[in-house]
Amino acid sequence: MRFTIHGVVVFLVSLFLILGGEVLAQSKGFIFETGSSVLDPDQNGYVSDSTSGFSNDGYDVDEFEITMFPMIILGGGEVSGDIGSGPNCGFTDLSPDTNGAAVYTTLDDSNNLIFRFRLSDYKPNAKGYTILIDADNAFGSFDTNSTSINPGFEIALFLRTNSDVSVADIDGVDNCAAIDTVFSLSTHHQKAIAGQESCGDADYLYDFYVPFSVLTSAFGITTSTPLRMIPVTSTSNTCALEGSASDVGGVDDDAYGGCLTCIYEDMINGQVATPFDSLCATCSGFPPARTACPAINEAYSGDTAITGSAAINAQVFVEIHYTDGAAVEYDTITADGTGNWSLNALDSILDQNDSITATALAPGKSISLTNCVYRWVAYASNCTPQIIDTSASISTKGICGALGSAFPGAEIRVYLNGALQTPNAGSIYATGTVT
């Protein structure tokens, strides 16, 4: 029986890892579970750009052998210890780099779609690592196939560490049972030691890839199709829709109070759909995350000014649609250093049922969703006081306002595109009204 030097070293390093032994600093970048040459093009046994490993300068992404692009982050990005299941600092806890990213992707010269998850720990346990893809640019209430578990994803690509790498059709379903293609772990995935540390020890890189041709044949998409994607880890050996979702990459999960679909909607709506032919080694990569949607304060008939809030120093593009037949008014203002903005000297005095919409563009960000907020002008003498705090958690499961954010006994009416919605459940429910 023959043994290669690299094979023996892989075995020894793997043995150290399994037994909980410390990995030597000079091993950073070393591949201890190998795949095909797609994942290690120069076949030298390292994911770093040299066999010297990573330089230990605190940021290893610029030293990857394969050029990769960080997937979307919201706010400050990924946070350690924000998991929904599993142990903190464990093998499903995504570990952020210094820019807040923890998952990376690229399309190589042979049109292979490669993903890399940065994790706080390694164990040989069976876990899942999923890329959920929105392929039709419709999500949540805008996707007719959305469900309470799957708000609008059509494709799942996932690594099951005890089984395989799989591609599944998840359009309109809550599971990954409709598997289209399966690839072997021995060729389509690898594990390596990262160049940074968290939780007092080394981080690890879990890689897998799928030929893009599979997505074309199964779903009719091409490398020029704009897509939106979210990475998710799971504490079970399956895709994120089926098992216990652990950590969504690029965001602080704890900020959502356990509402997984809320994270999905924010992450999808916070990114610009991007084709994979923008993610080649010499390409531009992902556009910046979208600017947060601005807010418009209450407006009443007789008002001659409009106020609101937005990201600091963001440009705010306001449209006012008057009901008296006047032309639509378009204005651009800039939010100040505290995020407030005001529009004075309107073309006309506001009247009941005029409507106002707004879009925002902050420095270093992509533009928000177009007209992502709107406000109906109310008749001043008939208005009750406004809600104290207009923030609410909105998802496919419903709308939840914070305790104390409204006045006791007030009737809350919800409108979608101007149509009054009739609820069928709530904290206090009677005869079609939630109060």
Q: What class has domain 295-434? A: mainly beta
CB 65 within 8 A of CB 41: yes
Tokens of 157: 């690509």
CA distances from 31 to 3, 27, 279 (A): 17, 9, 24
Q: Give the pTM.
A: 0.82
pLDDT score for 434: 46
| pLDDT higher than threshold 90 for residue 94 | yes
pLDDT score for 429: 45
CA distances from 373 to 90, 117, 165, 295, 398 (A): 39, 35, 40, 7, 18
| pLDDT higher than threshold 90 for residue 77 | yes
CB 306 within 8 A of CB 319: no
pLDDT score for 22: 45
CB 349 within 8 A of CB 302: yes
For residues 158 and 414, what is the distance between their CA atoms, to the nearest angstrom? 38
- Which alpha helices (H) appear in 62-167, and where do they start and end? none
Tell me the pLDDT tens digit for each residue of 144-199. Answer: 999 999 999 999 999 999 999 999 999 999 999 999 999 999 999 999 999 999 99
The single-letter code of the amino acid at 338 is: T
**In the chain, domain spans:** 68-278, 295-434
CB 366 within 8 A of CB 287: yes
| pLDDT higher than threshold 80 for residue 16 | no
CB 266 within 8 A of CB 204: no
CA distances from 204 to 44, 88, 190, 201 (A): 18, 15, 11, 10
pLDDT score for 327: 80
Min mean pLDDT across 22-26, 258-262, 325-329 is at: 22-26
pLDDT score for 339: 97
Min mean pLDDT across 16-25, 107-116, 126-135, 407-416 is at: 16-25
Min mean pLDDT across 44-48, 160-164, 274-278, 321-325 is at: 321-325
Torsions phi, psi for 381 (to 5 deg): -75, -15
- Give 377's contacts (C-beta < 8 A, 6+ positions apart): 299, 300, 301, 303, 350, 351, 352, 353, 354, 355, 356
For residues 194 and 176, what is the distance between their CA atoms, to the nearest angstrom? 30
- Give 25's contacts (C-beta < 8 A, 6+ positions apart): 56
pLDDT score for 24: 42
| pLDDT higher than threshold 80 for residue 413 | no
Average predicted confidence (pLDDT) for the chain: 88
| pLDDT higher than threshold 60 for residue 76 | yes
Min mean pLDDT across 12-21, 51-60, 124-133 is at: 12-21
| pLDDT higher than threshold 80 for residue 90 | yes
Tell me the pLDDT tens digit for each residue of 246-299. Answer: 999 999 999 999 999 999 999 999 999 999 999 999 999 999 999 999 999 999
Tokens of 308: 């609101």
Of 396, 429, 418, which Cα lies nearest the Cα of 262? 396
Tell me the pLDDT tens digit for each residue of 210-245. Answer: 999 999 999 999 999 999 999 999 999 999 999 789
Better pLDDT: 421 or 23: 421
What one-character DSSP code corresponds to residue 329?
A: E
For residues 359 and 368, what is the distance between their CA atoms, to the nearest angstrom? 6
Of 14, 39, 42, which Cα lies nearest the Cα of 27? 14
For residues 266 and 263, what is the distance between their CA atoms, to the nearest angstrom? 5
CB 205 within 8 A of CB 118: yes
Beta bridge partners of 394: 399
Q: What is the mean pLDDT of residues 43-52?
A: 94
Q: Where would I find the beta strands (DSSP E) of 255-406? A: 295-296, 306-309, 315-321, 329-334, 340-343, 355-361, 373-376, 392-395, 398-401
| pLDDT higher than threshold 70 for residue 23 | no
| pLDDT higher than threshold 60 for residue 391 | no
Other C-beta atoms within 10 Å of 8: how many?
10
**Residue whose token pair is 């979608």:** 416
